[in-house]
Amino acid sequence: MNSNWFIARRLFLDRGDARKVARPAILIATCGVAIGLAVMVVSVCVVLGFKREIRSKVIGFGSHVQVLNYAAVATNSPQPVEVTDSLMAQVRAVDGVAHVQRFSNKEGILKTEEEFKGILLHGVGPEFDAGFLKAHLEEGEIPAFSDSVSSNRIVISRQVADELRLEVGDRIYAYFFEKSVRTRRFTVAGIYCTHLTEFDNALVFTDIYTSNRLNAWAEDQYSGLEVGVADFDELAEVTGRLVNLVNRRSDSYGASYVAMNIEELYPQFFAWLSLLDVNVWVILALMVSVAGFTMVSGLLIIILERTNFIGVMKALGATNRGIRHIFLYFSVFVIGKGLLWGNVIGVGLVVLQSCFGLFKLDASTYYVDVVPVLFHPGYVAAINVATLVICVLALIVPSFLVSRIHPAKAIRFE
């Protein structure tokens, strides 16, 4: 066994020392490391959870990639594109694609006797993946959406329902404006709530047959395709494959296809989420600085209090380098204990929040009603290793203080 490591371990485990200064310093250093690590672990888990929740909601409404009419993107106006069975089969065959579904949008107004509200009617077909909508359904049910017959049933958000004072089973008139005013009477089949205001404020789901009829489009024309990918980490690669497949192609009506992923369609959300990474880095830097400062101050106090010990070690032939290693090893034990308690506190808080949702948020501001968390073992391990390495490196310079202690004077030191 390394003798310096052995001596450092004995010093760390010694509880019979009569001196009263070093122990509080060690306790403060340990607490500084523990609190700093706990804050870092919780911060990273919260940001990861928050990004996952917001990203999943945006993707739930708009899917990972959309194949659209280029003119609709360029002019920001509804323009149809031809969607054939052959095109859907080609898109479905692209490596990394997990799901493909058609959609057709139509802007309109929902009106009651006292209130009215502008909405975007989102028509979907029988291939629609209703998993996201079911996960956020508060009341009612998700109808079996058809592409061949109109059900006149809609699913609205809680925000729209509250503004128009609607409940499941209520009937409401919708007005759509083109060359003339078209009126439809719908029945509220379900009410969902995602707290994502930009979508909840307007998006109403119905069958794609109704939406297409209101748009007066041909049977094979739709607003586009929504494409789900198997792995979000491969979004850029799958988007590139879809771009190569459909971009610069035209349908039989003369419309040009374009493929865009969710980050390109809704850049404001993902730009906002990327700003959270900056906040995390600031928190990590501050907490590591706190941990390092408490460890440096603690080491200096320990060295000064162990002056007599240093003098004896030097008199016995120990080198300055060896004594520095003893105190650095001692510091590693202190840091390790702080890391252990920091992980217990930080991971414990994350688990409690994940299981019980103890901490709430204002959903109108943060888009979620509880603080979301996502535990990532790799990130937590990296934080632990980085904290240990940075703190030890910060202690190297203060450890050179032992070389300034003279053995003859140190042995007589009280």
pLDDT by 10-residue block (mean), the chain, 414 residues: 77 63 78 92 93 92 94 87 94 96 95 92 94 94 92 94 94 88 93 93 94 91 95 94 93 93 91 86 89 84 75 78 84 91 96 92 86 94 93 85 66 55
Residue 111's pLDDT is what?
A: 93
Q: In this predicted structure, what is the pLDDT of residue 17?
A: 52
Assign residue 154 a region (left: φ > 0; alpha: ψ between -120 and 50; beta: otherwise): beta
- Give the 3-state secondary structure of residue 124: strand
Which pLDDT value is given to residue 127? 94
Contact 339, 384 (CB under 8 A): yes
Predicted model pTM: 0.85
End-to-end CA distance of the chain: 32
The SS3 call for residue 160 is: helix
Closest C-alpha to 11, from 305, 268, 218, 223: 305
Q: Which two tokens stand for residue 108?
A: 């309109």
Place of tokens 């009419």: 69
- Residue 142 phi, psi dihedral angles, 5° rounding: -95, 115
Exposed / middle / buried, residue 404 (Cβ in 10 Å: 0-12, 13-18, 19+): exposed
Q: Radius of gyration over alpha carbons of the chain, in Å?
A: 32
Q: Residue 150: which of 221, 215, 208, 205 has the closest Cα? A: 208
Residue whose tokens read 């959609």:
103
Neighbours of 349 (CB within 10 A): 19
- The Cα 28–Cα 299 span in angstroms is 11
Q: Which token pair is 274?
A: 């990327």
> CA-to-CA distance for 94 and 229, rounded, in angstroms?
10
What does the alpha-carbon distance between residue 33 and residue 252 come to, in Å, rounded to a whole number?
A: 66
Q: What is the pLDDT of residue 412?
A: 58
Give residue for tokens 């120990």.
318
Q: In this predicted structure, what is the pLDDT of residue 337?
A: 92
Evaluate whether 42 touches 346 at the Cβ level (below 8 Å): yes
Q: Which two tokens stand for residue 320?
A: 């300055």
